[in-house]
Structure 1
Amino acid sequence: MKRANRSKSKGTNLILTIPGESTKKQIIVGAHYDGTGNGDNGSGVALLIANAKYLAAYQPPYTVKFIFFDAEEVGLMGSTYYVDKMSFWEKQSTLFMVNVNSIAFGDYPNIYGGVYDPGQTKVIQTEAYDMAVQKAEEVGMKVWSADKLDGYFHKHGRGPESEPNTFYTNPWTTQNPPPNSRGGQTPYVSPANGGWGDHAPFAEQGITLRSIRVDQLVCCWEWRKRCLHRLL
């Protein structure tokens, strides 16, 4: 995504830190608070606030830093600024970054992770995504993971039925690109997401990613509560 020129721009990132049992490692959970309404991204902000309130009553294994980014809509300005100011130690101590965006509208509750490496024509750094899938299944959620969805659309002419308490992911691969792709190429390969969200600046610094976009309003409070804090 093209970044905006920050030289003449001003904004405010809001940061809430919950110290962990170990302060040598941290997890960054982000959501942009500028946007067009409840879906994008008031819904992500609400989820972060709810989970920050929940985690504040406990001491997580690692420090969790909730960051409410400004100016995402005009070029990822808040997240880019934050990453630019991170020290070498901060980058090295970040286990992964979770980006929560647009979780109250659309087709499916999606979870993404990893970075597409065109040189290897595959997605790398999927550790956070793999762990999220494992944790979701451990708490009784169903997961349509990348391997299950690869080729599903081309075989059935549609996606699977949307079900409660179920995660999905990007179904497109280099072997099975989306039908509207140019030249048979997919712009982002499963289970990765595109580079248009606040996770992108972190990915460019080699920080492992997980992105949550719950694109259908099927989640009750209990679902939301389990969705994030148990995945951490």
Structure 2
Amino acid sequence: MKKISVMLFTLIFGMLTIVGNASANPVTYDPSLAHKDGAMAYKHMEYLAYDIGSRIAGSENERKAAEYIEGQFDRVGLDTEVQEFDYSSTKSSSNVVAYKEGKSTKQIIVGAHYDSVSAGLGVDDNASGVGVLLETAEVLKNIKTPYSIVFIAFGAEEVGLQGSKYYTNHMSEEEIENTIGMINLDSLAVGDQMYVYGNAGEDGFIRDQALAIADKKKLDVETNPGLNPHYPAGTTGDWSDHAPFKSKGIPYGYLEATNWEIGDLDGYQQTVEHGGIWHTENDTLEFIEEEYPDRVQEHLSTFSTLLTDLLKFMNKTSTSK
């Protein structure tokens, strides 16, 4: 694994420190943040977007982001590995994979891509998803879960889902059979409404259980209402890292913030006031927090709570897989 050396410095009122290289001496945070829903996720999101910046696939910044994520998994104490891959004759990236043992040898994969486009800083798309991924991994590290959990930060999503395609193409038949489902986290911070999606029919059990948790805990999470016949109620399109898993027959759940009731009713226009934020120069904390005060914190808290409870209480009574 490649390592980088960085100078000792302190950020954010003494709560953030980097010492040495990214994995041996990772960025550390006040432990109390892991016990405040969404607070740790916010710090991770902020670090990826502002201490690293835009994370274009194959770039030095994307590599720095991978090292940061690897360091955070190591800090938490999870078994971690980096899966390097080439996606063209000149471009390479990596998936950062961490494993948490559960009560069962069956596994659930939770993934979020860490690369971004060049416009903006990739706060919403997808430092927000990685933040929730890392917070959930830390909260659950000492909690028994029904299934083992594989946390994956995917590289090169923005150039054709390269990381998730590489990962699924290198899964054995036994691994595929052993995987209960995949939960994808993408663009959680700014959309007008929070959603969870899943497969049609009985393979949509992850979505259904998430909605039941949201109802019980009074979380403002719903699913695609199905106004567009191309995207039936409860489902979504194959444009994010859940798609390669779906193609292998693995049921998926997908957390996202957007708005399915405006524009072409396809979920692409995230907000009434500004349309899509992802892939634009508006994908920064300054813009999002000025236009939508407290929305980022509310979304990260809600999604972190939902994902944590989903992984703690997941069952598969509604599927025969």
In the superposition, the TM-score normalised over structure 2's length comes to 0.54
1:196 and 1:61 mapped to 2: Cα distance? 29
- The one-letter amino acid paired with 2:111 is G
Deviation at 1:134, TM superposition (A): 1.7
Q: Deviations over 1:96-148 (max 9, x none)?
A: 10000000012210110115xxxxxxx5621221121122223x22xxxxxxx
* Equivalent pairs, count: 185
Q: Do the aligned partners of residues 135 and 35 (structure 1) sit closer, same or farther apart at CA in structure 2, a change above 3 Å counting?
A: same
Is 1:30 the counterpart of 2:115? The answer is: no
Deviation at 1:221, TM superposition (A): 6.0
Partner of 2:166: 81
**In the alignment, which of 188, 194, 209 is matched to residue 252 of structure 2?**
209
Structure number with larger C-alpha Rg: 2
Whether the aligned pair in 1 keeps the contact of 2:188 and 2:256 (CA below 8 Å) is yes
**In the alignment, which of 93, 98, 108 is matched to residue 178 of structure 2?**
93
Partner of 1:228: 307
Q: Do the aligned partners of residues 6 and 187 (structure 1) sit closer, same or farther apart at CA in structure 2, a change above 3 Å counting?
A: farther
Partner of 1:152: none
1:92 and 1:218 mapped to 2: Cα distance? 37
RMSD of aligned Cα (Å): 1.9
Is 1:45 the counterpart of 2:130? The answer is: yes
- The one-letter amino acid paired with 1:228 is L
Deviation at 1:224, TM superposition (A): 3.9
Partner of 1:131: 209
**In the alignment, which of 196, 216, 219 is matched to residue 298 of structure 2?**
219
Partner of 1:160: none
Is 1:57 the counterpart of 2:142? The answer is: yes
Higher helix share: 2
Deviation at 1:231, TM superposition (A): 1.2
Partner of 2:223: 169
Structure 1: unaligned runs, 5 residues or longer: 116-122, 142-164, 178-185
**In the alignment, which of 168, 178, 197 is matched to residue 112 of structure 1?**
197
Q: Deviations over 1:30-75 (max 9, x none)?
A: 0000014110000000000100000112221211111000000000
Whether the aligned pair in 2 keeps the contact of 1:17 and 1:64 (CA below 8 Å) is yes
Structure 2: unaligned runs, 5 residues or longer: 1-85, 259-294, 312-321
Q: Do the aligned partners of residues 114 and 61 (structure 1) sit closer, same or farther apart at CA in structure 2, a change above 3 Å counting?
A: same
Task: Describe the SS at the equivalent of 1:213.
Answer: strand
Whether the aligned pair in 2 keeps the contact of 1:170 and 1:191 (CA below 8 Å) is yes
Partner of 1:118: none
Partner of 1:12: 94
2:238 and 2:299 mapped to 1: Cα distance? 29
- The one-letter amino acid paired with 1:33 is Y
Q: Do the aligned partners of residues 223 and 85 (structure 1) sit closer, same or farther apart at CA in structure 2, a change above 3 Å counting?
A: same
Q: Percent identity?
A: 37
